[in-house]
Structures are given as structure tokens and as C-alpha cells.
Amino acid sequence: MNPKAVAVAGATGLVGRQMLKTLEERNFPIKSLKLLASERSRGRTMTFKGETVPVEVLTETSFEGVDIALFSAGGGTSKKFAPCAARSGCVVVDNSSAWRMDPDVPLVVPEVNPGDIAKNKGIIANPNCSTIQMVVVLKPLHDAARIRRVVVSTYQAVSGAGNKALDELTTQTRAVLDGKESAPAVFPHPIAFNVIPQIGDFEDNGYTSEEMKMVHETCKIMGDDSIRVTATTVRVPVINGHSESVNIETERKLTAAQARELLAKAPGVVVTDDPARSVYPLAVNATGKGETFVGRIREDLSHPSAIDLWVVSDNLLKGAALNAVQIAELL
């Protein structure tokens, strides 16, 4: 790969920092690096490959001479600045939800639909974290037996909601253990020692915005609008690593053994499935790893052509930063 001029917008945030770490660990060929953030970060510096890099304030002219920009600065910021970057001749890989369902913007998971990258007009969308880990597992099964329906329940870590959410979990946990109260600010209810069946705002159909992201994004990434998806997304008091219970109905029956074999060969997937020894994917084991882990692979007793899976991945890595960097590598 030829060295590229790279910018990271939202560099000081949780995902932005992970993007920098991932670029460094994967030795991405960087000719120059520009770190961008809001006015609040003016004067800050960050370290990349042992060098101190200043953080600049993001403006409409920040992308002159930049080849690839990784955005993780929120939907409003992306809506405003991603078109500016594209007009400058830069290709944006955006981690927000701003562009995901735009028909002119590819929504890409490299293990699933890498060819869609070529359709970009200056902006490529990075999918929702919970969608990414699920479609990496769905792809080989869909190719083999065609998926008709997916029922997914997620158990999502607080890191998916950012630094303030992590602080809230820590503060509330200490308060509960000390017999005190701590009012929620990030989440609608206390998250410590609790489970909250709401991620995002509720829509008129009773689903949350996070659940509808999984519905719509899955079909777009898989390139098949006939796949029916229903989701329940839940926030749990876990620091990092999203877990999912996924039930998959296929057109042609897959045995558990066949599914296990397909998944073992799939790119980016690691099968961790030995229930006799209590071996299955765990959020604590997935943290810091770029693969998507799958286990508890079994045939659905209530349906003649369905299987159940347990899917776990690091939401800050494969669910965000790593997926974006993989797209940049393909670019």
C-alpha cells in the first residue's frame, strides 16, 4: 500500500483513540497524520508511534491534501463536515449513523461486502457495532443456506455509549457498594447491577432506534431485503464487549455441525464452542481482539430449519475502529 495522508476526526473520543491505536498496531502506511476534534480539545496533543501530534480544531478546510479521513465525531458533525471532506478529494469512513441508510453511501463490513467500497462517492459508512458482529456470522450461513429470518437479542456494554457512560457505571457501582445512591445521567435508569432494555429512543412501532438500525443495516449489508430481522437491544453493566443471542431461520436446513464447519472457515470468525467444558464466547475474552467469536451453536428445537448462536465481539474494535481501518486498508 502506498503511504496516505490520513485524518482522524473525533480523535480524542473513545473510538477515535481506538482508531489511532488500530492504525498503529496494523502499521497502516501513513504519509502524514492530522488529528481533529472540537474546540474543547484545542491545545491538546496525542501520541502516535512515539511522536507527539497536536490536535487541531475541526473546520471545513481541515481536509485539504488528506486522502482518507476516519470520522468518529457524532452524526451532526459528520453531516456537516463529511461532504466538505469529500469535496476536497478525501474519502471519509464515517462511524456515525448519519450516512448508513443513504442509498448513495456504501455500508461496509469487509468480510461481508467489500465490493461495495468501489461504489463510494467520497463517503463510506461504518455500520452499527451490534450489526457488524452479527453480519460477519450471518454471511457464510446465508451463502450456504439462505437466511429467511433473524431474531436477535443483544447484551451491549456501556463503552458503546462513550466515556461518560463508563464513568457512570463506575460511579454508580461504587455508590451501590457503599450503600449510597447515584442518579443516572447518560442512561434512563441506573446501569450498575441492572439491565436496561432500551438503547436509543423509542419509535412509533415500539422498537428503539438501535433495534431498527439492526433491522435496516443487516439487509443493506447483506444485499438482500428479503431477510426479516427483529431485534431487542439491551444495555448491561459490562465495561466492554457486546454479546448477542441470535436465532437464524434458513431456507435450507443446516445442522449444528454444518454451521460450525462453515463458521470455522469464515474470515474474521473464531468458533469457541465446547459446552461440555463450559467453553463459549465471553465479553472479557473478546476484549482487545479483532475477531468475532461464536459458540453455543445448536439446532432450534422449536423449528425444523433454524439454529441458535451466541456471538461476542469487542464493540470498540471490530464494532467500530477496526472495521473502519479495514475499510481504509481496502481503499
Catalytic (active-site) positions: 129, 242
Buried b (16+ CB within 10 A) or exposed e, 101-119: eeeebbbbbbbbbeebbee
| Cβ contacts of 195 within 8 Å, gap of 6 or more | 234, 235, 236, 237
- CB-based contact 233:214 (threshold 8 Å): yes
What letter represents residue 94's amino acid? D
Grid cell, residue 35, equals 488529528
- Nearest-angstrom CA–CA distance, 80 and 302: 48
- Nearest-angstrom CA–CA distance, 183 and 200: 19
Strands ordered across the beta sheet of 123-125: 45-48, 51-57, 30-37, 4-9, 68-71, 91-94, 123-125
Q: How many CB atoms lie within 10 A of CB 279?
A: 12
